[in-house]
Amino acid sequence: MGVILGIESTAHTFSFGGVYSNGKTISSTSALFRPEEGGIHPREAADHHSLLSGNLFKEFITKNDIPVSEIDAIAFSQGPGLGPCLRVGASVARSLSEKISKPLIGVNHCVAHIEIGRLQTGCDDPVLLYVSGGNTQVIARNGGRYRVIGETLDIGIGNMLDKFARTQGIPFPGGPKIEKLALEWLNNNPNASLDEIILPYGVQGMDLSFSGILTAAVQKVADGHSLQEVCWSLQEHSFSTCIEVAERALAHTGKNELLLGGGVACNERIREMSELMCIDRGAKAFWPEKQYCIDNGTMIAELGRKMIKHNLYTKLEDSAIDPSMRTDHAEVVWD
């Protein structure tokens, strides 16, 4: 059976993944760029990706026993993302495509988060709460497109968590460590009250913002609150804003499925909040396995698989990357 290869390289992660033509997923082989200090410098991340790409590809096909002759098509993240990083993925995809004479499929990274979630969880027509490093969006399908109903007006929620973590000496990615510290606080203080540590609540209509809460959280630590307490409050406030907008999106669209996607969807607390909100309104919450929440090549392959069923291949001359590609850019013709 043929395999669709997927290449992810929008930001910190370079990853190969695959999906068989019947929809059976092949776990990704990935490398994460971790800056020694500071944030992700796009060019340094791109250098990391291009250095590792050859060995990573070999590891992926060897580990999964995939003869190159079985690869039917090569899907890659065409946007949105960091230009230098996207360019590495696109170049690798083009070279492979030329070498093995198999077609290219340029894929929208955000839409891929939705499609891997649908494949993995079996939900059909969800509102997607996409909470990742660089992106935070609430998305729903309507009139042949995935429409952005609400989104961050400044930084992504994961980026906010990572930046806060960095101010406290916690290396990238900071989200998992913040989750751990927040849980420790709650376990030690089961009656903890948010009244003791209020942070800005960044909801503006259907949109979100996270830069204010970042500044305020750093200040709370400077004021003497414990890091654990601030992590807990940071999660409670920022996740609540996402859940509020997601709930309104369910109400406006009349949909009754909420799907989580993006790296922050690995967090048990945002999963719990999603579930509680959905139960409250007779809806259902879904999330894919953690390996498919974070950026991965398998999700790119899955969207590629759906697109080629409708002959949506990408010609070499149309394969340029688009760092600011919008979620609603692509016409959604597949089921």
Report if residue 115 touches Mg ion, rule: CB under 5 A.
no
The entry of Mg ion, ligand AMP, none that residue 258 binds, CB within 5 to 8 Å by partner kind: none
**∠117-123-124 over CA atoms, to 5°?**
110
For residues 200 and 234, the answer to whether their CB atoms sit within 8 Å is: no
What's the closest the beta carbon of residue 134 comes to Mg ion, in angstroms? 7
For residues 88 and 50, the answer to whether their CB atoms sit within 8 Å is: yes
Judged by CB under 6 A, the chain residues 50 through 89 that form the site for ligand AMP are: none
What's the closest the beta carbon of residue 295 comes to ligand AMP, in angstroms? 4
What's the closest the beta carbon of residue 208 comes to ligand AMP, in angstroms? 15
The residue from 294, 299, 303, 325 that contacts ligand AMP (CB under 6 A) is 294
Report if residue 162 touches ligand AMP, rule: CB under 6 A.
yes
Binding map of ligand AMP across residues 253-282, x = CB under 6 A, - = no contact: ---------xxx-xx---------------
**Helices H, strands E: what count in the chain?**
10, 12
- For 208, residues 6+ apart whose C-beta sits below 8 A from its C-beta are 136, 150, 151, 152, 153, 157, 202, 241, 242, 245
What's the closest the beta carbon of residue 21 comes to ligand AMP, in angstroms? 26
For residues 6 and 302, the answer to whether their CB atoms sit within 8 Å is: yes
The count of other CB atoms within 10 Å of the CB of residue 324 is: 9
Starting at the edge strand found earlier in the chain, the sheet holding 25-32 runs 25-32, 13-20, 3-8, 71-79, 104-108
Which of 128, 80, 149 shows the shortest CA–CA distance to 259? 128
Which of 249, 237, 243 shows the shortest CA–CA distance to 150? 249
Nearer to ligand AMP, 66 or 221 (CB): 221
What's the closest the beta carbon of residue 13 comes to ligand AMP, in angstroms? 6
Nearer to Mg ion, 13 or 241 (CB): 13
- Kindly report the length of the chain: 335
> CA–CA separation, 37 vs 306, rounded Å?
39
What's the closest the beta carbon of residue 195 comes to ligand AMP, in angstroms? 24
Report if residue 295 touches Mg ion, rule: CB under 5 A.
yes
Report if residue 176 touches ligand AMP, rule: CB under 6 A.
yes
> CA–CA separation, 260 vs 126, rounded Å?
9
Report if residue 31 touches ligand AMP, rule: CB under 6 A.
no
What's the closest the beta carbon of residue 98 comes to ligand AMP, in angstroms? 29
Report if residue 132 touches Mg ion, rule: CB under 5 A.
yes
The entry of ligand AMP, Mg ion, none that residue 173 binds, CB within 5 to 8 Å by partner kind: ligand AMP
- The binding site for Mg ion (CB under 5 A) comprises 132, 295
- The binding site for ligand AMP (CB under 6 A) comprises 13, 132-134, 158, 161-162, 173-176, 179, 262-264, 266-267, 294-295
